[in-house]
Amino acid sequence: MSELITVSAETGEVQNTPVNLLDLSRSKMVDFFLSIGEKKFRAEQMLKWIHHYGVDNFDEMTNISKTLKQKLKEVAEVRGPEVVSSQFSEDGTCKWVVRVTSGSCVETVYIPDGKRGTLCVSSQAGCSLDCSFCSTGKQGFNSDLTVAEIIGQVWIAARHFNNVPAKKDRSITNVVMMGMGEPLMNFDNVVDAMNLMMDDLGYGLSKRRVTLSTSGVVPALRKLGEVTDVSLAVSLHAPNDELRNVLVPINRKYPLAELLDAIDQYMSGLPDKRVVTIEYTLMAGVNDQPEHATQLTQLLKNVPCKINLIPFNPFPHSGYERPSNNAVRRFQEQLQEAGFNVTVRRTRGDDIDAACGQLVGQVADKTRRSERYIAARQSEAG
């Protein structure tokens, strides 16, 4: 039997936990059906029901026999994360707050832009990496999301839009792992979930349209190239180690030279020609000066890339400010003059606080970092 037998730590009672089929990659789904004495093709049917048609009720699965439905009801379920709230902006941006098993809440944002519709997905409740300008980091860390909780965010949005992958005009054309958390710190679950995003029996997205964003966890980035070929974005934010050590503390462990080498290894291992996206959040007076642009030009001169500038999005007690539009334009132009392809990320969903770095969720912080952070800011403010 495939159901999980667990013993309650509190009562000592034996409990049968149903298997959540939303948690299963294609190969695990096959294993599950084999384990209950069913044929492999059932896995394909099930994946389609769940991910193509958004069905979570076995009774609605018309090509499944009555006996199998009964068997499934005894050992399995299809359970997406609970939607705590959903908000819809005037500009079409949508935000869902979902509760995960640990009790924390994370956020998922949908950003329409012409024919493109990008879903920004979270990978962890909070983040342990503590970048100095990121509100997720300031909330500390609570838990890694399960596969069901990661792919469940796509599932929820797809159900909302009635996004059947086989249809031509799909609402969700791209997924970026740029919500809350550091995807490479939750490696296996993120890889399984991204595989479902790209699977024809899942969401059928091309590998070019699924992007993982990392702050530079170098050993995990090296491992990533061995198991997948999604597109890559790297959060650089500083053109030298001294400044990056402050803004992105993981840099102290894996400095720029190592990071650039791992990026090169990942990109050159891809089967097709693509470039890495370099994300650079601009903070007034911190990393937005002409000398920073000059250093960045030097640093990236041999890195095929496109640069995405993100004007800092403020949040309470951040201690940083967004540069003026002129300062952003000057920085962009300096890089463009040096021959780089540079875009500036527009802030979307302003009215629902859906911008990068503003995703707050509700993290039951294990590290108590958020308390210490607020206390320190308050004492600085006198």
Beta bridge partners of 279: 235, 308
Structure tokens at 297: 């030009």
Query: Binding to ligand SF4 (CB under 6 A): which residues in 155-214?
Result: 181-182
Residue 361's binding partner out of ligand SF4, ligand SAH, none, with CB under 5 to 8 Å set by partner kind: none
CA distance to 39, 154, 242, 278, per residue, from 343 (Å): 50, 26, 25, 10
Cα within 13 Å of Cα(229), Cβ side: 11
Rule CB under 6 A: say whether 119 interacts with ligand SF4.
Answer: no
Structure tokens at 164: 């059947």
Residue 352's binding partner out of ligand SAH, ligand SF4, none, with CB under 5 to 8 Å set by partner kind: none
Residue 130's binding partner out of ligand SAH, ligand SF4, none, with CB under 5 to 8 Å set by partner kind: ligand SF4
Rule CB under 6 A: say whether 134 interacts with ligand SF4.
Answer: yes
Rule CB under 6 A: say whether 178 interacts with ligand SAH.
Answer: yes
Yes or no: say if 123 and 183 are a contact pair by the CB < 8 Å rule. yes
Nearest-5° Cα angle at 368, 364 to 371: 100
Question: What DSSP letter does each residue of 9-65 carry, written as one string?
Answer: TTT--EEEEPEEGGG--HHHHHHHHHHTT--THHHHHHHIIIIIT----GGG-TTS-
Cα within 13 Å of Cα(351), Cβ side: 8
Residue 281's binding partner out of ligand SAH, ligand SF4, none, with CB under 5 to 8 Å set by partner kind: ligand SAH
Active site residue 107: yes
Query: Binding to ligand SAH (CB under 6 A): which residues in 280-299?
Result: 281
Beta bridge partners of 307: 278, 342
The one catalytic residue in 105, 127, 305, 356 is: 356
Rule CB under 6 A: say whether 133 interacts with ligand SAH.
Answer: yes
Near ligand SAH by CB under 6 A: residue from 104, 143, 213, 277: 213
Active site residue 333: no
Rule CB under 6 A: say whether 130 interacts with ligand SF4.
Answer: yes
> With the CA atoms of 197, 203, 208 and 212 taken in that order, what torsion angle do they form, in degrees rounded to the nearest 10?
-30
Rule CB under 6 A: say whether 312 interacts with ligand SAH.
Answer: yes
Q: Which residues bind ligand SAH (CB under 6 A)?
A: 131, 133-135, 178, 182, 213-215, 235, 279, 281, 310, 312-313, 356-357
| Catalytically active residues, by annotation | 107, 356
Q: Which residues bind ligand SF4 (CB under 6 A)?
A: 127, 129-131, 134, 136-137, 181-182, 215, 235
